[in-house]
Amino acid sequence: MIGANIYTINPQSAKAFFVKADQLIKIIDPKGHQTGDIFAVVSSDSTECLSTGVTIDCNANIYLNEKDFLYSNKYNKLLQIEEDKVGTHDLIHPTCSQRMYEVHYNVDKPHPSCHQNIQDCLKEFGIEYKNLTTVFNFFLNSRIDENGKIIYNKTVANPGRFITLRACTDLIIAITSCSVTQSALNNFSASSIVVELIATENNGGTI
């Protein structure tokens, strides 16, 4: 590691970043029990983006471990899990959206959502993904029982826990602090996420 830039993602918001190949992205839960979403787009080709379906296919697993990869819709490696101090993440749940709040929580007024927050911050890079659905839900604690039912529990991310990803190519990455406060996913609250973009010798030591 050569140097790092540190960013805070406020509760129920998102930020997008340009990251170079081999750069590290460290995502930290400073207060504990907060989840978030990652969506990645190849910087040289906005039609190539993170696919959770392809990620499941290539890993032959719905659970990811250290050294596993996140893949694109074109079956290319986008990100590798370098270090993981939480161990529970999700590739199944769609990003929260206004419609989800209406259907699941009977919300009848505008509500912050990862879906809208990701779209908004990607627009800063000239990228639009109106049909965004699947993302990598970091720290989200989901399991499937013997009958195929998906069980969602409070995240086990304690204060200061983190996951570090390594970029496999130049990317635009959107990272959220999840907006859901109506369930146990985030312990019925919303808090910030900290992101460290870490330069390495292999990417020229630039951030």
CA 192 → CA 59, 73, 136, distances in Å?
A: 30, 29, 18
The pLDDT value given to residue 133? 79
Do 175 and 34 meet the contact criterion of CB atoms below 8 Å apart? no
Which stretches of the chain score pLDDT less than 70?
1-2, 203-207
Do 118 and 129 meet the contact criterion of CB atoms below 8 Å apart? yes
User: Residue 91 has which token pair?
Assistant: 């590739």
Do 175 and 27 meet the contact criterion of CB atoms below 8 Å apart? yes
Q: What is the CA radius of gyration of the chain?
A: 16
The pLDDT value given to residue 204? 59
Q: How many distinct structural domains can be found in the chain?
A: 1
The pLDDT value given to residue 184? 85
Kindly give, in sequence order, each residue whose CB lies less than 8 Å from that of residue 167, ignoring residues fewer than 6 positions away. 19, 20, 21, 22, 23, 24, 25, 78, 79, 173
CA angle 102, 41, 192 (to 5 degrees): 55
Give one DSSP letter per residue of 134-157, joined into a string: B-EEET-EEEE-TTS-EEEE----
Q: Which domain holds residue 25?
A: 3-203
The pLDDT value given to residue 4? 86
